[in-house]
């Protein structure tokens, strides 16, 4: 589930660079997804 969300957000982020869609919201979502991903890596290895 987490990987699917990360892939969708990365695609939206790339579309934002290409077509200027979404503006700062896509970048904010990408940062949130990156923080959640790092948190999952840290807490999931115990």
The answer to whether 22 and 16 have CB atoms below 8 angstroms apart is yes
pLDDT at 18: 73
> Positive or negative CA dihedral for 37, 42, 45, 46?
negative
pLDDT at 26: 66
Q: What is the pTM of this model?
A: 0.50
Residues with pLDDT less than 70, the chain: 20-24, 26, 45-46
Q: How far apart are the C-alpha atoms of 27 and 30, rounded to whole Å?
A: 5
């Amino acid at each position: 589930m987490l990987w699917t969300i990360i892939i969708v957000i990365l695609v939206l982020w790339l579309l934002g660079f290409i077509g200027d869609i979404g503006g700062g919201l896509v970048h904010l979502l990408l940062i949130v997804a990156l923080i959640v991903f790092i948190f999952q890596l840290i807490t999931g290895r115990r």
